Structure 1
Amino acid sequence: MSEQLVRDLKINGLGQAAGGTYGKVSIDGIGTLNGDTVCDLLTVNGSLKTKHSIQGGEIRINGNSSVGGKVGSGRLRVDGMLKVDGDVRSERMDINGMLRIGGGAAGDTLEIDGSLKSSGNVEFETVQVYGGFQVGGMLNAGTLELKMAAACQAREIGGERIRVAAKKGSRKLLGLFTSSLAIRLTADVIEGDDIVLEDTKADVVRGNRVRIGPGCEIGVVEYRHAYEADPKASVGKAVQL
């Protein structure tokens, strides 16, 4: 925390503390933070509740936590369940459990082995998905690679390089999605430079180079340079721009 000395905060069992600036914040039990909190490291092994915002160099959630404000971090790792009412900004985000966001999410690298649900846009340079997601807005990434183990949904998807397929022999997801949902990607519009899709349902797919693989249901494909479709794919029509 810059050059000044700051105190650490530890909550063991049941406790609460004021917000403020800390070095390390450790919660082993049930803790409440009654104000905006800034820290180098936040570790939760239990439950954290706050109606305020959290800014941390690194945040590790191993239990069940809820944040009423925003979350910002250099690295965010969720191995349990985290609910954030506001936006989440993190250079690197690893989701092995469940993350629910009332706003949007942005950063550099996002890896999903569990479940992400965001009401707003999700924007990262690199996105790798081995679990599932529901994005109410646009999912935008420089590189997007999906090997889905659960249903994935977004209103719009944009990226330079997009690769989508269902993972065969799905990983366990702690029951994060209902079994009635097919393991496939669903979107209104998918747009990118280099697109390869499997197990995808979309109204419009638009790109420079587009390959539609098995398990796809596509309304319209709009391509500039190259297009091919697997015989097991369903494509309404393909138009060269």
Structure 2
Amino acid sequence: MEERLAKDIRINGMGQVPGGNYGKINTDGAATIQGEVRCASFTANGSLKLTNSIYAEQFRLNGTGRSSGTIAGGKLRVDGTMKLDGDVSFSSININGMLQARGGAVGEQAHIDGGMKLDGSAQYETLKVHGLLQVCGRLRARELDIVMAGACRASEIRGERISVRKRLGASRVLAWLSSSLAPCLTAELIEGDDIVLEATKAGVVRGNTIRIGPGCEIDHVEYRVHYEADPGASVGRAGQAP
């Protein structure tokens, strides 16, 4: 019984995998995973449908994926598009394309080249985005670097080092993902130690060192050490915290 549960699975063409514990799962074609799965590694080339949650130490998708549950594990790489109803919980995430979840995302580090859309919140130690980032909830990252190729948003952004810039010369894929919207970040609150912003609309920006660049519209800036604003920025009021 234990030997059967730990076996490897390979699908070429169309096929289904029942829920359970496995070693390696490899699919080439159109695969459906029925039930909850735990495995050491999961590699899917083509189309993938997950009817439940999955845990994999290494998860790689080349193509399109759809999950009805949560995906979690060690390392996640998506080259294509992945949509899911649950949360995304991986230590390391690398997305070349689009990741969209009705839940939230949590992990150590994430690199997004394309887009990530979350109905929930996001929390990472390091988060680097080239493209789109849309978080309906709160965004927390010790180090946050966003190079925008379209409309980005979060209700609140908190971190230590926060950098938001516009991307010049975006690729065709990123131009399509942006839906022809000008690069702009919108947030109610941005709070951190070292903050550099471009093309950002925010109610409050609070931090130690704050640099407000061109295209920004900020209602209130509260700084502790240093503050500067580009002539092309609009700041309602700025004051040094005691």
- Is TM (by shorter chain) over 0.5? yes
Match of 2:224 in 1: 224
Give the counterpart letter for 2:179 in structure 1.
T
Match of 1:117 in 2: 117
The count of aligned residue pairs is 238
Match of 2:89 in 1: 89
Structure with the larger helix share: 2
Give the counterpart letter for 1:133 in structure 2.
L
Match of 2:177 in 1: 176
Q: State how far apart, in whole Å, the 2-side matches of 1:193 and 1:4 are.
A: 52
Q: How does 1:1-241 map to 2 (within 5 A)?
A: 6-173=6-173, 175-179=176-180, 181-241=181-241
TM, length-normalised to structure 1: 0.95
TM, length-normalised to structure 2: 0.94
Q: Which runs of 5+ in 2 are unaligned?
A: none
Q: State how far apart, in whole Å, the 2-side matches of 1:126 and 1:172 are.
A: 26
* Cα shift readout 1:48-73 (whole Å, capped 9, x = no counterpart): 11220010011111111111111112
Tell me the secondary structure at the aligned position of residue 120 of structure 1: coil
Q: Percent identity?
A: 53
Q: Which runs of 5+ in 1 are unaligned?
A: none
Q: State how far apart, in whole Å, the 1-side matches of 2:86 and 2:5 are.
A: 30
* Cα shift readout 1:2-37 (whole Å, capped 9, x = no counterpart): x99821111111111211111111111111111101
Give the counterpart letter for 2:177 in structure 1.
L
Q: State how far apart, in whole Å, the 1-side matches of 2:232 and 2:25 are.
A: 53
Tell me the secondary structure at the aligned position of residue 214 of structure 1: coil
Q: State how far apart, in whole Å, the 2-side matches of 1:171 and 1:125 are.
A: 27
Structure with the larger strand share: 2
* Cα shift readout 1:73-112 (whole Å, capped 9, x = no counterpart): 2111111111111111111101111111111100011111
Contact 1:129 1:145 in 2 (8 A): yes
Q: State how far apart, in whole Å, the 2-side matches of 1:183 and 1:75 are.
A: 29
Q: State how far apart, in whole Å, the 1-side matches of 2:211 and 2:185 are.
A: 15
Contact 1:115 1:173 in 2 (8 A): no
The offset of 1:172, in angstroms, is 3.4
Q: State how far apart, in whole Å, the 2-side matches of 1:176 and 1:9 are.
A: 34
Give the counterpart letter for 1:40 in structure 2.
A
Give the counterpart letter for 2:135 in structure 1.
V
